[in-house]
Amino acid sequence: MGIQQLTTRQGDRIAVVAGLRTPFARQSTEFKDVPALDLGKMVVSEMLARTDIDPKLIDQVVFGQVVQMPAAPNIAREIVLGTGMDVNTDATVLPEPVRPAFKLRLTSLSLSWRVV
């Protein structure tokens, strides 16, 4: 497929450096006692460790969740604050279920959001 140059409408370069998702399990089974926020922080921390990216360099976090947590209505913001990213990092939640997993990334790019 080759390398594709992606830019925003303003001409800024978009770089999708990495992506990772939480493990999938049926509702109320393996992860029933693990809050979505904890799963989100685990997967983002793991992605940062795998890529050796300084958390302070991330411009935006886009996060999707099937069932929103009342205790964390902006789970992306909670993940930013819980993983050592800059407090000014944009945090966006996609409210609808994200199926398939890559839809999250494609939606971000098509709306010209900063990913990294």
Tens of pLDDT, residue by residue over 31-66, are: 889 888 999 999 999 988 998 888 888 888 888 777
Strand-pairing partners, residue 7, are 13
Assess contact for 18 and 52: CB atoms under 8 A. no
The pLDDT score that the predictor gives to residue 95 is: 63
Assess contact for 107 and 94: CB atoms under 8 A. yes
Indicate the SS3 state at residue 57. Answer: helix
The pLDDT score that the predictor gives to residue 65 is: 76
The pLDDT score that the predictor gives to residue 36 is: 87
pLDDT higher than 60, residue 108:
no
Give the start-to-end residue ranges of the domains of the chain: 36-110
Task: Please identify which residue in the block is written with the tokens 């990913």.
Answer: 115
Question: H/E element holding 80?
Answer: helix 75-82
Say which CATH superfamily domain 36-110 falls into: Thiolase/Chalcone synthase (3.40.47.10)
